Amino acid sequence: MYPSKFDYHRPSSVQEAVQILSANPDAKVLAGGHSLIPVMKLRLATPSALVDIGRIDALQGISRSNGSLRIGACVTYDEIANSSTVQEAAPLLAEAAGQIGDRQVRYRGTIGGNLSHADPASDLPAAALALGATLHVTGTGGSRSISATSFFVDLMMTALQADEILTEVEIPAAGAGTGSAYAKWEHPASGYALCGAAAVVTRNADGSCASARLCFNGVSSTAVDASAVGASLAGSDLSDGAIESAVNDNLSIPDATGDMFASAGYRQELAKVMGASALRTARDRA
C-alpha cells in the first residue's frame, strides 16, 4: 500500500521546520512515523507535505538537572524504556514505554510523536498526566509550555497549533517515598490499551499517603485523570481496603468509550480493577 503523493522536507532546525509548517497548512510532522505512515497508507490521512524532524539534533537526548527530567521529542520508546536516567527519575514513563507495541515499533516510535498524535489507547498520555509533565512547544510565534492536563483536548486532538512542534517533555524527577506503576489490559491482537492505569503514590515517613494520582488510557476519548480517587486516598493508610474503596467509591468515567471490543460499562469496571492494581503496585514501590 502506498500513501498518496506528498512533498518531503527534511529541515535541520526547529525554526526551519515550523516555517515549512506555517507555509503548508495541511503538512504533517513526521518523526518515527509509526502512527502517521500507517494512516497514510490507508489514505485516512493525505497530507500534501511531510516535515521530517527525525534528524534535528535539538530534539534528541535525555537529561536530568535541577530536579527535572527532560526528554527530546524524537527520543524513541526503546531509548526511554532502557534509559537508566528515566528509570530513576520517572520509572512510570520507562515502564509504559516498554509496553508499547513490539520491539521493532519501540525502536522507531517517539515520545513526541506519541503525545502529539494523542491516540487515547496508546500508553504514554496517562503517564504524562500522572507524572505532571510539561510539554514545551515551538511555533513561528515563539515557544510556550503546556501542562499535560491542558494538552490533550479530545480524540487525537491536542493544544498544538498547526505551525507548532512539540520539542521537549519535562517531568519533575521522582522524590523520596514515591512509587509508581503502569497496569495495562491490552487488546490481544493490537496491543493497544483497552484500559491502561498509571498510578503515582507518595508516602509520608509514617507510611500514610501524602498524595496519589491515578490516570487512564484507553477508556475515553482522551487520557483521563481520576483526580477524585487520588484526593480520597490522601491521608489514608494505603491498605488494600483503602485503595479498594477509594476506587470503587470515587472512580467514574462519565464518557467511557464503548466499541466492538468492549462496552462502556465493561471499560468502567476494568478501570476499577486495573486502577486498584496499579495503585497497589505503586504503594509497594513507594
Partner 1 sequence: MGISIELEVNGASVSDEVEPRLLLAHFLRENAGLTGTKIGCDTSQCGSCTILLDGKAVKSCTVLAVQADGSAVTTIEGLANGDYHPVQQAFWDNHGLQCGFCTPGMIISCVDLLSTNPQPSEDEIRHGLEGNLCRCTGYHNIVRAVQDAAETMNG
Question: Considering only 1-9, 128-136, 142-150, 259-267, which stretch makes contact with partner 1 by CB under 8 A?
Answer: 1-9
- Please state, in angstroms and as integers, the Cα–Cα distance from residue 169 to each residue in 58, 134, 141, 147, following that order: 13, 6, 20, 10
From 17, 21, 24, 34, residue interacting with partner 1 (rule: CB under 8 A): 34
Does residue 7 belong to the site contacting partner 1 (CB under 8 A)?
yes
**Long-range contacts from 154-158, C-beta under 8 angstroms, 24+ separation:** 154/221, 154/222, 155/118, 155/120, 155/221, 155/222, 156/117, 156/118, 156/119, 156/120, 157/118, 158/115, 158/116, 158/118
| Cβ neighbour number for residue 106 with a 10 Å cutoff | 21
Binding residues with partner 1: total (CB under 8 A): 29
From 104, 204, 239, 252, residue interacting with partner 1 (rule: CB under 8 A): 104
Does residue 37 belong to the site contacting partner 1 (CB under 8 A)?
yes
When the beta carbons of 10 and 64 are compared against partner 1, the nearer one is: 10
Q: How many angstroms separate the most distant Cα atoms in the chain?
A: 62
Does residue 186 belong to the site contacting partner 1 (CB under 8 A)?
no
From 2, 175, 206, 254, residue interacting with partner 1 (rule: CB under 8 A): 2
Q: What are phi and psi of 139, to 5 degrees?
A: -135, -175
When the beta carbons of 55 and 144 are compared against partner 1, the nearer one is: 55
Does residue 10 belong to the site contacting partner 1 (CB under 8 A)?
yes
From 45, 107, 143, 250, residue interacting with partner 1 (rule: CB under 8 A): 107
Query: Any residues with CB less than 8 A from the CB of 284 and at least 6 apart, and which?
Result: 179
Contact footprint for partner 1 (CB under 8 A): 1-8, 10, 30, 33-34, 37-38, 41-42, 50, 52, 54, 78, 101-105, 107-108, 190-191
